[in-house]
Amino acid sequence: MALLDSVGRLAASMTDILQTRLALASLEIEEELQRFLQLLLWSLAAFFCACFAVVLLAVMLIALFWDHYRLPLIGGMIAAFGGASYWMFAHIRNQLASKPRLLQATLDELEKDAAHLRGAAPEERQENAN
């Protein structure tokens, strides 16, 4: 009877561990989805700004400075908006480079659990032998 109780407690402990780890995995997936959506929105905003700026800038500069200074002004505005879009894309690239691996915390906790169980197994055998 004691063996069955021990097996039952072990099964309950393993179920609790699994439930905790799955909850952690779920949380990490939700965080990663939010991070992805944020980066997607930043990307779309940067792309839209870059395209819209180029078109409007070209039209405005051609209209305003058709007779004088049209080329230097077009070049300056293209550089300014190009620099802004480059900054946005660099921000996106940095965000992607600094993100943690998907489910890293869950994997770390499972590794700790496995190490603990490997370490606990010999101790339990010694206690049962005594």
Q: Which tens digits make up the pLDDT trace of 38-74?
A: 999 999 999 888 888 778 877 777 787 778 877 787 7
* Tokens at 51, concatenated: 């395209």
Note down pLDDT in tens along the chain; length 130 residues: 777 778 777 878 888 888 888 888 888 888 889 999 999 999 999 988 888 877 887 777 778 777 887 778 778 878 888 898 899 889 989 988 887 777 777 778 778 877 777 776 544 544 544 4
For residue 38, the model assigns a pLDDT of: 94
* pTM for the structure as a whole: 0.45
Residue that is written with structure tokens 């908006």 in the block: 81
Q: Given this model, what pLDDT does residue 122 score?
A: 47
Distances (CA, A) of 63 to 53, 66, 72, 119: 15, 6, 14, 77
The rounded distance, in Å, linking the Cα atoms of 105 and 28 is 8
Alpha helices in the chain (DSSP H): 2-64, 70-98, 104-129
Q: What is the pLDDT at residue 34?
A: 92
According to the model, what pLDDT value does residue 103 have? 72
Tokens 């002004």 belong to which residue? 73
Q: From its phi and psi, is residue 101 left (phi > 0), alpha (psi between -120 and 50) or beta?
A: beta
